[in-house]
Amino acid sequence: MSTTDRSKFPLVVIVGSGFGGLEVARRLENKPVEVLMLDKHNYHTFQPLLYQVALGSLESESIAFSLRKNFGGQANLNFRIAEVHKVNAEKNTIDTTIGEIAYDYLVIATGSTTNFFGDKDIEHYAMPMKSIPEALNLRYLIFQNLEAAVLKKIKEEREPYLTFVLVGAGPTGVELAGAIAEFRNYVMEKDYPELKKDHVKIYLADFQPRVLATMSEQASKAAGDYLRKLGVELLLNAKVERYDGNEIEFEGGKVIKTKNVIWSAGVMGVIPGGINKDVIERGNRIRTDNICRVVGFDNIFAIGDVGAMITDKTPKGHPGVAQVAIQMGDNVGKNIIHIIKGETTEPFKYNDKGSLATIGRNKAVADLGKVKFQGFFAWLIWIFVHLFSLLGTRNKFIVFLNWMANYVNYNGGSRLIIRRFVRGDVKNNAEEVTKGDA
């Protein structure tokens, strides 16, 4: 079956409309190709702000953007909601939830998911935060546990509901820890007068010796200081041994009683079936050549978090960040046209624009090449970069207003529990979240 009219132009099928997939589509606008964009959702997710959805300070719609709206004006593009299960490279087709689809060029831009490193208990009980449904589940869990804490009169019974352990001190863990700490310090007692700040404990754990290990030492140190000032306890060089929904244990025997473990300790690529195991690298990423073309294939590309361009300079592939996905998308879009026209292709060259992470409402750390700085000015840059990168003028406006309101009164956001989070209730919790009892 074909879901789009095959014209005289070659058909480029893009799987995944994250940062990478969207950029490929943009590059192919007004070019001599037909484009079919497939995604299992009908919206693009701006993952860097998921943590604010989880804390209820932003509504989920303000960090998502309708794909049909986005592509409304692109005459050579059709969009379909479909999940791709398998690539049949020998016959240039893919198996999807809407049937078999033929392609001339295939771009795999399916991103990554949380890596629990094979620990089934941790996968079952800890909370991931890679998608909007997962961020909402986390929000509901946090606020349900605060409601439960209010009902517990005995300190020992109440504590696990008010103890937060974030595993993984990369940007996601650091930003979420800062946001939970600010909620505890400035908001919680307004919503929950029965609870006191010092009832709530927040731990940020990592097996590395410093937070933000992929950023400079200077950024790590400043971020660590900011977090400590906010009242976050850092557990560094700490490897998680087990979590059973009530207790988390670290190597060496340290045990913390908690109902709130948030897991951002690793990611792995999301690869549709049918890809030869020989080209799957560490972290479940697909090995490509220097134009993001899957090794061994002429017409299949893998970009962004799911691609691994292994070179002397990048022995583990490029970092899993939005800029890599965007720049790879740009490169692939251009090269598909070069290939069609019989022109020389352009090798991918990553232009690292630097890294930012925010801690709380007015502090951030910035590594912009050789220039490294921290504090309020870094936070202003963080605000500007994130607003600029969000899709949709309405979203930019709403997010900006929310941030300003929050800045002025420390109490922005609604923190609503729209549906109850129940572990294991797949129907209610969202398709990709399958957990046991709350």
Ligand X SMILES: Cc1cc2nc3c(=O)[nH]c(=O)nc-3n(C[C@H](O)[C@H](O)[C@H](O)COP(=O)(O)OP(=O)(O)OC[C@H]3O[C@@H](n4cnc5c(N)ncnc54)[C@H](O)[C@@H]3O)c2cc1C
Catalytically active residues are: 175
Least Cβ distance, residue 328 to ligand X (angstroms) = 8
> Which residue lies nearer to ligand X by CB, 115 or 144?
115
CB of residue 47 vs ligand X: minimum separation in angstroms? 3
CB of 338 to ligand X, least distance (A): 22
Minimum Å distance from CB 110 to ligand X?
A: 4
Q: Find out whether 18 and 44 touch, Cβ atoms under 8 Å.
A: yes
Q: Cβ 181 to ligand X, closest distance in Å?
A: 17
Parallel, antiparallel or unpaired: strands 77-81 and 34-39: parallel
Contacts of 64 (CB under 8 A, 6+ apart): 43, 44, 45, 46, 132
The strand ranges marked E within 144-299 are 163-167, 201-205, 232-235, 240-243, 247-250, 255-257, 260-263, 267-269, 280-281, 285-287
CA distance 168 to 116: 11
DSSP codes of every residue in 342-391? TPPP---------EEEE-SSS-EEEEETTEEEEEHHHHHHHHHHHHHHSS
Q: Nearer to ligand X by C-beta: 40 or 210?
A: 40
Please, which residue, 214 or 323, has the CB nearer to ligand X? 323
Distance in angstroms (rounded) separating the CA atoms of residues 108 and 96? 13
Name the residue with the smallest CB distance to ligand X. Answer: 18
Nearest CB to ligand X, comparing residues 47 and 93: 47
Task: Rank residues 162 and 308 by Cβ distance to ligand X and give the closer one.
Answer: 308
CB of 310 to ligand X, least distance (A): 17
Could you give phi then psi for residue 78, rounded to 5 degrees?
-115, 145
How far apart are alpha carbons 407 and 372 in whole angstroms? 25
Sheet strand arrangement including 84-88: 84-88, 93-96, 99-102
Interface contacts to ligand X, rule CB under 6 A: 15-21, 38-41, 47-48, 50, 83-84, 109-111, 129-130, 171-172, 270, 272, 304-306, 320-323, 325
Gap between the Cα atoms of 5 and 15, Å rounded: 18
Nearer to ligand X, 41 or 124 (CB): 41
Which residues have a Cβ under 8 Å from the Cβ of 427 and sit 6 or more positions away? Answer: none
Q: Smallest distance, Å, CB 248 to ligand X? A: 20
Q: Judged by CB, which is closer to ligand X: 25, or 202?
A: 25
Crossing angle of helices 217-230/171-182, nearest 10°? 20
- Pick from 229, 164, 227, 152: which is nearest to 192 by CA? 152
Do 42 and 67 contact (CB within 8 A), yes or no? Answer: yes
